[in-house]
Amino acid sequence: MIVVATDDFEVYHGVVGELRDRGVEFTTLEPGQSLPEAARVAIVGPEDEHPDVETVRATPDDPRRAVDAALAILRGDGGQTVVGIDPGDRPGIAVLSGETVVAAFQVPADEAAAVVAEEVAEAPDPLIRIGDGARLQGTKIIEALDGVPVELVDETGTTPYLGTGARGMGDVLAAVNIARLDGERIESRDIEPTAGEIQLIKNRSRRRSDDGRTIDEELARRVAVGELTMEEALQRHRKR
């Protein structure tokens, strides 16, 4: 059982809210009160102590991380943090502690690296596993995750069939499957776009422009590798 033992108002309400949202059994005590026999881990505030049981220290701004750590202790699985990423325009991201999914996200591509970096910031031995599709978006995420081990995973078959009510969950569920697959350790990835990727960017430029303008191949390649934004490429094309 988890015990919440703190007189810090913000920590208490943040941690209790997280535990209730996850349906976790817990009890609360004042710091210094005797623990029940079933207690295995105590979540305490920044200034609290509870020497009678293994403790996890929580902060007001990040109660979820403390709850994740407490649950990892209860499971006794070592709690290695593995992050799976299904890259794309809105990548699916799944955070696993051992075999348990502890967090999931789907964010715009330019926010993905920051989300992943925050999730692994305090993990002792994190591992990132990223699918090998959507190469351009995936490469940008890899380059932004400096110093974190990354494996490239064959994502064939990782997106499950989505039944009734599961629409929109495919990328996140694929990220869970990617996190559970062994991949090839990489330091970087070739970002040179393919002819098909260049054409997709040219098509997108036509939809984004006010006058049906399509940028040329050279500008499209520079957009693909991140040298120009679409707006900058359209602006340059108008000046030609």
DSSP-derived pairing of the beta strands 81-86 and 127-131: parallel
Q: Is 181 found in the same domain as 116? A: yes
For residue 232, which of 212, 200, 208, 211 has the smallest C-alpha distance? 208
Q: Is 91 found in the same domain as 54? A: no
Among the three residues 75, 99, 132, which one is the final residue of a domain in this structure? 75
Q: Is 182 found in the same domain as 202? A: no
Q: Is 138 found in the same domain as 52? A: no
Among the three residues 75, 96, 129, which one is the final residue of a domain in this structure? 75
Residue numbers of the domain that contains 18:
2-75
Q: Is residue 192 within 8 Å of 222, Cβ to Cβ?
A: no
Q: Which pair of tokens denotes residue 148?
A: 């974190």
Q: Tens of pLDDT along 40-95?
A: 899 999 887 766 788 899 999 989 889 988 887 887 755 688 999 999 889 999 99
What kind and span of H or E run contains 198? helix 195-208
Q: Is residue 159 within 8 Å of 176, Cβ to Cβ?
A: no
Q: Is 69 found in the same domain as 85? A: no
Q: Is 122 found in the same domain as 65? A: no
Angle at 81 between CA 120 and CA 110, to 5 degrees: 40
pLDDT reported for residue 68: 84
Q: Tens of pLDDT along 95-132?
A: 998 888 989 999 999 999 999 999 998 777 889 999 98
Residues 83 and 94: their CA atoms lie apart, in Å, by 6
Q: Is residue 63 within 8 Å of 14, Cβ to Cβ?
A: yes
Query: SS3 of 172, please?
Result: helix
Among the three residues 186, 204, 226, which one is the final residue of a domain in this structure? 186
Q: What is the CATH number of the domain that holds 173?
A: 3.30.420.140
Q: Which pair of tokens denotes residue 227?
A: 């040298």
Q: What's the domain count of the chain?
A: 3
Q: Is 167 found in the same domain as 120? A: yes
Largest distance between two CA atoms of the chain: 77
Q: Is 95 found in the same domain as 171? A: yes
